[in-house]
Structures are given as structure tokens and as C-alpha cells.
């Protein structure tokens, strides 16, 4: 069976790599504007520039019916009370859904509708899956003490739109409150 790429892949759970596929690493300095507490962000940056998350993608040509997938790894950590997170994205092709499957560690996904009026915080850990419908912004956070790893599967033509998030961020944040992960409106933090 001849294809232009190998059909079987192996995940390296320590490095977060799909072996043989590119890895994108996001350090704290790459996440300017993502965290709610800007003072805590600057203090943390003053002490170093730790790795926050990696994404390794198996991407195939954007043809109808094809699927791509990515392995994500988020390190444990917080900026202020807010857990380490991914930038988050919409799909450029808005109808594209995504299925996330937790492999190790524990965290949550934050989902928001385009106008921010609807949202959910859903568990992502082993034996759990999260369905992200089309038209929904999604971000992943690690609320545990070890790396959170997961796979996301999406239509090959989905594309990633980070700009909409970069402009106004998510309306909600996931924080440690009273020792446990909680979702609150960002505007509540300013009061």
C-alpha cells in the first residue's frame, strides 16, 4: 500500500512528539497576553522562560474526508492563580469539529461560542474525551501536577485561527480557587 507518509505513528510521551513529525514548543515568552494576571506573568518571566506546552502534528493534505491529528503536552504550572494553558483557537474552517482524547495527567478544556456568551469547562484526562463542535473556540489547561498529554483529531481542512483569540482572549478563565479548578468570567477578576 503506497502512501506519501507512514500510516502508523508512535508517540513519545516524555517529549510529547509524534516521532518523525514536527514539534512546536511554546515557552512562557510566547504567551504574552494569554494569562489574566499580567504582573504575575512579568514576575515569572523575570525568573526564566519555561516551556509551557508543545504540539506535534500529523497533518495530511486538506482533502475531503481526510483527518489530521496532533499530540499536545502541557506542563504543570500556574501564573498567579491561573493554570498553564494553550493559546487556544478556532478552526479557520468554522464548521470543523475536533475530538480530544486524554492520555495522561489531568486538566480541562475551555470551550466558548464565537460571541463568548456560551461556555463550558470539560474534563480532559485518561478515559475521557471532549467533543468540540464546529464554530467553538477551545483552549486546554493543565490543572494537575504532572504533564497533561492528549490527542486531538480534526478534519484535514480545518486550519487554525489564533488571531481571534489573540485579539480578545477567552471571556472566561480557569483558576485555582479554594484549592480547586474553577471557571469564572475574566471581568470578575478586575473588580
Positions in the binding site for a second copy (CB under 8 A): 1-3, 5, 7-13, 18, 58, 60, 63-67, 69, 93, 95-99, 101, 111-113, 118-120, 122-123, 127-134, 136, 151, 153-156, 158
Rg of the chain's alpha carbons, rounded to an integer?
Answer: 16
Q: Which residue's CB is nearer to a second copy, number 21 or number 30? A: 21
CB of 79 to a second copy, least distance (A): 25
Interacting residues of 130 by C-beta distance below 8 A, sequence separation 6+:
99, 100, 109, 111, 122, 123, 124
Instruction: For the sheet with 67-74, list strands across it.
Output: 23-27, 51-58, 67-74, 148-155, 98-104
Q: Which residue's CB is nearer to a second copy, number 34 or number 56? A: 56
Q: Which residue's CB is nearer to a second copy, number 35 or number 100? A: 100
CB of 161 to a second copy, least distance (A): 14
What sign results for the dihedral spanned by CA atoms 137, 18, 69, 152?
negative
CB of 16 to a second copy, least distance (A): 11
Q: Which residue's CB is nearer to a second copy, number 43 or number 94? A: 94
Separation between Cα atoms, residue 179 and residue 191, nearest integer Å: 21
CA atoms within 13 A on the CB side of 58: 23
Instruction: Kindly provide the b/e burial profile for residues 95-125, where b requires at least 16 CB atoms within 10 angstroms of the residue's own CB.
Output: ebebebbbbebbbbbbbbeeeeeebbebebb
CB of 64 to a second copy, least distance (A): 6
CB of 62 to a second copy, least distance (A): 12
Interacting residues of 163 by C-beta distance below 8 A, sequence separation 6+:
none
Q: Which residue's CB is nearer to a second copy, number 10 or number 43? A: 10
Amino acid at each position: 500500500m503506497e502512501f506519501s507518509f507512514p500510516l502508523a505513528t508512535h508517540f513519545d510521551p516524555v517529549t510529547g512528539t509524534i516521532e518523525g513529525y514536527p514539534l512546536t514548543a511554546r515557552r512562557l515568552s510566547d504567551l504574552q497576553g494569554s494569562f489574566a494576571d499580567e504582573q504575575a506573568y512579568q514576575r515569572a518571566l523575570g525568573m526564566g522562560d519555561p516551556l509551557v506546552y508543545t504540539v506535534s502534528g500529523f497533518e495530511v493534505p486538506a482533502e475531503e474526508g481526510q483527518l489530521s491529528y496532533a499530540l499536545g503536552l502541557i506542563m504543570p504550572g500556574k501564573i498567579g492563580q491561573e493554570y498553564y494553558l494553550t493559546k487556544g483557537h478556532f478552526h479557520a474552517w468554522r464548521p470543523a469539529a475536533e475530538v480530544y482524547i486524554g492520555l495522561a495527567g489531568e486538566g480541562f478544556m475551555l470551550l466558548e461560542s464565537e460571541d463568548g456568551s456560551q461556555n463550558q469547562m470539560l474534563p480532559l484526562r485518561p478515559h475521557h474525551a471532549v467533543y468540540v463542535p464546529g464554530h467553538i473556540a477551545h483552549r486546554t489547561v493543565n490543572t494537575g501536577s504532572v504533564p497533561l498529554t492528549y490527542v486531538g483529531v480534526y478534519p484535514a481542512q480545518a486550519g487554525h485561527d489564533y488571531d481571534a483569540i489573540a485579539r480578545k482572549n477567552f471571556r472566561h478563565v480557569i483558576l485555582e480557587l479554594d484549592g480547586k479548578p474553577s471557571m469564572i468570567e475574566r471581568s470578575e477578576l478586575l473588580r
